[in-house]
Structure 1
Amino acid sequence: MLIILTFFFCHWYLSIFTQTFFLHRYAAHQMFVMSPRWEKFFYILTFIGQGSSFLSPRAYGIMHRLHHAYADTEDDPHSPSYAKGLLDMMWKTRIFYNDILNNRDHIEPKFKKGVPNWAFMEWLGDRWPVRLAWGTAYTLVYIFYAPSAWWFALLPVHYLMGPIHGAIINWYAHRYGYVNFPVNDTARNLLPVDFLMMGESYHNNHHKFGGRANFGGFRWHEFDPTYPIIRLLNRLRIIRLKVNNDLKYM
């Protein structure tokens, strides 16, 4: 049981870290810069962390920029206000994402400026044989170490980890939670203490200060677990926080 729990939580937190750090704060918002070599390192880390549910940093970055520009309107790629339910929103998001991924979109060039694009890793991560190989690896871990069949119910979460993390925020953080700041959309802070999403659930804070690297910190209980890692990587000169990145809130 301990092995399965450790495996599940390691996968959960590595996946959400790569999503919030690399796809969200770097690819979409460019809150910091890094060298081409480190960019490739974090591409590979994202590929390992998300595995079968690998999300293209390029497509994610473009789509998320559109979300901020058109939040809770018909042009929002994933608004609960324009979906019949959670699964309907996820399906529409998938279609929108695939159009960007396969260059079938008609999105303005300004939304595509500066997004990372390692063509080989984008191609590799999206291959179905690769996704199936990751899924097979997860399944084998459970075959060897799950103490009972009930534990296999966790496998779908492994298979779809990236989209699940996105859906939690894009659906629930636009419907439930508390508000620190008035914004022109329905973004809310989903969790008072974000122990699950590494800062992502402070969605209202983020929509108010879209370029701020620290998603938490406005109330005593708001701690963004990703931010100290960003500060450490900045100190180690692996990344460089931009000067205009609301440094007064550090």
Structure 2
Amino acid sequence: MAILIFFLAHWYLSLFSQTFFLHRYAAHQMFTMSRGWEKFFYWFTFITQGSSFLSPKAYGIMHRLHHAYADTEKDPHSPSYSDNLFHMMWKTKDYYNAILNDRAGIEPKFLKGVPYYALVEKLGDKWFVRIAWGVLYTLFYMKFATHTWEYALLPIHYLMGPVHGVIINWFAHKYGYINFKVNDTAKNLLPFDFLMMGESYHNNHHKLGGRANFGIKWHEFDPTYPVILFLNSLHIIKLKRNNDLNYM
């Protein structure tokens, strides 16, 4: 039971960091926050993503490129230009590292307003830090695992961020249903998104890229959106005008 609780906590906390901070904030700037709260969520992302920490700066830039060039040769991660899932993941890694290390020659329009906190960016990308997180996960399993099969979950802990990314960037461009005609292959992977906290409504998001609520139809509940509304009510964040409480 302890292993299952730990796995689910890591899955959803890491996923929240990705969808709330990296995706909706860093990439799309759907809301604003103070510099202090931005640093808080940087640390929150570092802790919850752990060994698979993704740079908000690099993620934000790469995701903007994905929207601008979806399913073309310039898309950083399109199934249409990859031989298989693992080939796409490797290409994404290379593109991410090129952006992270300022080797990608990105146009200035894609760089505007992306967050940057040097301490966490550099700390989170160091290999000894990533390995240390992996060791901590392993030690937890050694202490609390009661069945051998539970150790099969460990690789997901090590690569949690990329696993979340590939579920959407591969499967939500191949499988699912469509609410809107868009100029790419983005689909809604799940009719009720219990797995990806709203991220699986990918077709909706590609049509309405600035909308904080990824759900459209009555059954498309986006679990991250009520959290956004709550944080907005506490003045921790401020939803932008096109994402206020009346924009439903």
TM-score normalised over the length of structure 1? 0.98
1:130-169 aligned within 5 A: 130-169=129-168
Match for residue 247 of structure 2 among 231, 239, 249: 249
Provide structure 1 residue ranges, at least 5 long, that are not aligned to the other structure: none
- Structure 2, unmatched stretches of 5+, are none
1:8 matched residue in structure 2: 7
* Cα distance in structure 1, aligned partners of 2:67 and 2:99: 17
Q: What are the equivalent positions in structure 2 for 1:1-250 lying under 5 Å apart?
A: 2-216=1-215, 218-245=216-243, 248-250=246-248
What whole-Å deviation, never above 9, does each CA across 1:12-46 have from its counterpart, x for those lacking one?
00000000000000000000000000000000000
Q: What is the root-mean-square deviation of aligned Cα atoms in Å?
A: 0.8
Q: Which amino acid is 2:75 matched to?
A: D
Counterpart of 1:85, as a letter, is: N
In the TM superposition, residue 245 of structure 1 has moved relative to its aligned partner by 2.7
List per-residue Cα deviations over 1:139-162 (Å, max 9, x = no partner): 011000000221100000000000
Amino acid at match of 1:108: E
Alignment check: 8 A CA contact 1:212 1:246 kept: no
Shift of 1:219: 1.4
Deviation at 1:244, TM superposition (A): 2.4
Letter in 1 for 2:126: R
CA distance in 2, matches of 1:48, 1:6: 17
Amino acid at match of 1:185: D
Give 1:211 deviation, angstroms.
Answer: 0.1
In the alignment, the residues of structure 2 paired with residue 156 and residue 135 of structure 1 have an alpha-carbon distance, to the nearest angstrom, of 9
Structure 1 CA distance for aligned equivalents of residues 112 and 195 of structure 2: 31
Question: Once the 2 structures are TM-superposed, how far is the Cα of residue 11 of structure 1 from its aligned partner?
Answer: 0.1
Whether the aligned pair in 2 keeps the contact of 1:211 and 1:246 (CA below 8 Å) is no
1:60/1:97 contact within 8 Å kept:
yes
The residue type paired with residue 62 of structure 2 is M
Structure 1 letter corresponding to 2:184:
D
Quote the Cα distance in structure 2 between the aligned partners of 1:89 and 1:77: 9
| Cα distance per residue 1:68-116 (max 9 Å; x no partner) | 0000000000000000000000000000000011111111011000000
Structure 2 Cα separation of the partners of residues 105 and 222 of structure 1: 36
* 1:137 alignment partner, SS class: helix
For 1:228, give the aligned amino acid.
P
Counterpart residue identity of residue 228, structure 2: I
Aligned mates of 1:144, 1:246 — CA distance in 2: 46
